[in-house]
Structure 1
C-alpha cells in the first residue's frame, strides 16, 4: 500500500575477552563480554535505516525504539513492526503521539502479564478497537475498575505521559488476533486504519519481520561480524558500523540486479545467493573484479525459495572468535 515495512529487533554480539576491558560484566558463574545491537531494518529493500550499539541488556531495546522514532531518520510513510519483547504501553503511546504507524506482537489473551491482561476478549479470531485509561492514582474509581477501563501504572514502571499535571492518559489501539495453526493464535496491536488494512493483511505484514532475523544472520556469518581485528571497544564499534554499511551497500547492488533476472518457468522461485553475492561485491569493492564480472557472477549463483518448507532450527551457543595477535 505504498508503505515501507520496517522491523526493529536486537542481537547480541559476542566479543573476545580482554582483561583490560572495563565494560565486562561478571556474574556468579559467568563473564559477559558482549554488545547488543539495536537496529531498524527495511524488510522489503533489505537495508538498515538506523542502528545503535548498547550494552547487553534487554531494557535498551524499548529506549532505542523511542530514540529512533524521535530522530525519524527513516521514511515518513513507514510501518514499524516488532516482536513481543517490545510490548509496552509507553512505546505504543510514543508511536501514537508521533504519528508513527506500528504493528506489535503481544502476548496472547490468556497471559497473566502484558497488555491483554484484564481485557475481556473472545477465544477466537477477532479485530477490535479498545481504549484504556492509564493512571498513577489509586482512587476508589480506579480500584473498582468497572469494564476494565483503567490501567494502574506503578512508580516502578515507565510511562512518559503521566506526571503531576496529567494523572490520566487515554490510549486507543486496535487488537488483531488470527489463527496460525489448529490450536495456535497470534495477537497483534496496531494503529493501522481498518479501512486500509483488513484482518487478512496482518499475517503477511508480521511475517515480513522475519527478514531482519535473516539480516542479522548474514551480518554475522557472511559479512563477518564475528571476527574483530582490534581489542578496544571504540574500535570494535567502528567495525560493527562498517559491517552494517557494507551490508547496505551490497544489498543496494543485489536488489538492482534482482530486478533484471528473468528465468524460464521453474518449480521454485529463484533468488540471488546472498553469501556468494557478498563475496563478489567485496572483491569488486577492492577493485579485484570488473563490474560486468560482478553482475555475471551474481546472476549465475541462485538459490530456490521454498516458502512452505518446515525445518527445525538448530540453535547452537555462539562463541566469539579470538584475536590471533592477542597477547596474554
Structure 2
C-alpha cells in the first residue's frame, strides 16, 4: 500500500499509507456523481480533469475552493463551455492583489498564462502562447466575519448574475465539506474491510453507493416531513446517523430479495421515525482533536450507529 498510494511526512519516520479522494458532488440533490481514489502525492488540481472526464458539463455550474484556481484549468473549462465559480487566494496574482486593494467590487479582466500553466497545457497537447488572453470576472464577497473573499467566474453578465447570487451559490459549496464529513466519520470510510488495494477501492465505491442510496430514500421522505413540520416550531430532517444504522442490513436485502420495493419502503418508514430539528444560526467553534502518530482511527462527535 505504501508503494501504491504513498505516505505523508511524519516526524517519527515512515508513517501509515494514505490516499487522496476527489469526488464530483451534486450539492443540489446531495449525490456523489463520480469519485476517484488517488495516491496521496496527487494534488486535487491534478486529478480534477480525470474526475470530469467523460461527463456532459455544459448545463452545469462547477464550484471550486481556493486550491483549484489556475489559468490552465479555467482555460479547459471555458473551452468545454462549462461555467464555474472559484474562490481565489488573496495572493493569487498581481491582478487579484490590486483588485482587493481597490474600491471596486466587480471587474472583468484578461489574464495570461504562467509558465507553469503553459507547461501543463503543453503536456495535455494544447499549444498556446504566453500572450493568449482569458476573460475572467472577479467579484468581492463580504463574509459575516468581515473577511473579504474573491471569487472568479465566467458568468460575465453582472445584471443576470449579481454578487449576492454568486455569494449564495458559493456558500452551497459547504455541502461538499459535509459530504466528506459523512463518509469519513459516520460511514467510517477509513475502516477498511481488507488491506489489499482492491479491497480498499471496493470499500470506497461501496461508501459512495451507500451515501447515494441514503440520499435517494431521504428524498422520498420529504412529503412526510413537510406534513410533520406544519405542527412544529422547527423544520425537521432525517437523522443521518441513525439512517446509516437502518441501512446496515437493509442494503443486503436489496441484493438478496426480488421484491426490492418492500425493502425500500421499509427503509423509508425507518427514516421517517427518526427526525431531528434544524436549528438555524447555530455555530460552534472548530475543535481540533489530537491524533496519535501510531495508528489511524475515526474521530466522531457522537455515538457510533454502525
Shift of 1:265: 4.4
1:133 alignment counterpart: 112
Q: What TM-score, normalized to structure 2? A: 0.80
Q: Secondary structure at the match of 2:136?
A: strand
Shift of 1:189: 0.2
1:94 alignment counterpart: 76
Contact 1:37 1:52 survives alignment (8 Å): yes
- Would you say 1:222 and 2:156 are equivalent positions? no
Q: Secondary structure at the match of 1:50?
A: strand
RMSD of the alignment, in Å?
2.9
The runs of 5 or more residues in structure 2 that have no matched partner are 255-261, 299-306
Deviating beyond 6 angstroms after TM superposition, the runs of 4 or more aligned structure 1 residues are 161-165
- Would you say 1:154 and 2:115 are equivalent positions? yes
Residue 298 of structure 1, aligned match among 251, 259, 271? 271
Shift of 1:71: 2.1
Relative to its length, the structure with more helix (as a share) is 2
Q: What TM-score, normalized to structure 1? A: 0.76
1:56-205 matched pairs, under 5 angstroms: 56-57=40-41, 59-72=42-55, 76-108=58-90, 111=91, 113-114=92-93, 116-117=95-96, 119-120=98-99, 122-124=101-103, 126-134=105-113, 153-154=114-115, 158-160=119-121, 166-181=129-144, 183-192=146-155, 193-205=157-169
Contact 2:186 2:241 survives alignment (8 Å): yes
1:33 alignment counterpart: 17
In the comparison of the two structures, how many residue pairs are matched?
281
Q: Distance in 1 between matches of 2:129 and 2:98?
A: 24
The runs of 5 or more residues in structure 1 that have no matched partner are 1-17, 135-152, 323-328
